[in-house]
Copies of this chain bind each other. A is one copy, B any other.
């Protein structure tokens, strides 16, 4: 049964040093406010999981929260590199970052396996690529009926799964729509979960193509107005493309990055 609490209490109650944490949202509905709260609470040694690390993971990595990154595409969409991610990988700053690298299809299926209570998923993927040689969590598996060899990837079961959504009702049932990505799977795969929402409403009137996450399957719901900025919340805000472009400059330099985080997040 989801408890509706403040963002600070939710993150404080959920995320511990050393945890594996997944913040999902595929371009849309990225839970920036929750990520910033993790930074403010100065969590350390996190294993961060996310298909597309995006700017929020650049910030978490640059602030030294992460020990390891499990991902499939680490760029600034439409802009270029994530400079804090690159600095950590290329130069170990502010600390070295281990990578566990997959493809989108592999990551999506790893969440599906986690949400399904299975230890692994099967897909047609990775065959012939150099990823298969670098990533220990990619193995062959044989079909017991046809003998065909496919690829297995292990389930993702983060300690904490965090997503952002449009709204929740007072019982903690959550409704999200637009591009819903892999959010249902990320929440259901996680041991504990938090959904930040734009607002709490009396009733979740049906919306086409909406996903509903029942309150009884969640740990916490917290209001975080505009909590996806500079990503967006379909029907509530638009993507701040200028910020994504500006981030390229802000993040390129270590000091400028630190100053920006100091004045905007901490």
Contact residues of A with B, CB < 8 Å?
A: 117-124, 137, 139-141, 143-146, 148, 150, 152, 154, 206-210
A145 to B123, CA, bound (A): 15
On whether the beta carbons of B141 and A137 are closer than 8 Å, the reply is no
Contacts A207-B208, A209-B206: A145 and B154 contacting too (C-beta < 8 A)? yes
A244 CB to nearest chain B CB (Å): 29
A106 to B10, CA, bound (A): 38
Q: Which residue of B lies closest to A155 (CB)?
A: B145
Q: A144 is contacted by which of B117, B139, B143, B145 (Cβ under 8 Å)?
A: B139
A-B pairs with lowest CB-CB distance, top 8: A206-B208, A139-B144, A119-B143, A145-B154, A119-B146, A144-B152, A120-B143, A208-B208
A119 to B146, CA, bound (A): 7
A132 to B141, CA, bound (A): 22
18 contacts between A and B (CB under 8 A): A118-B124, A119-B143, A119-B145, A119-B148, A120-B122, A120-B143, A120-B146, A139-B144, A139-B145, A143-B152, A143-B154, A145-B152, A145-B154, A146-B154, A206-B208, A207-B208, A208-B210, A209-B210
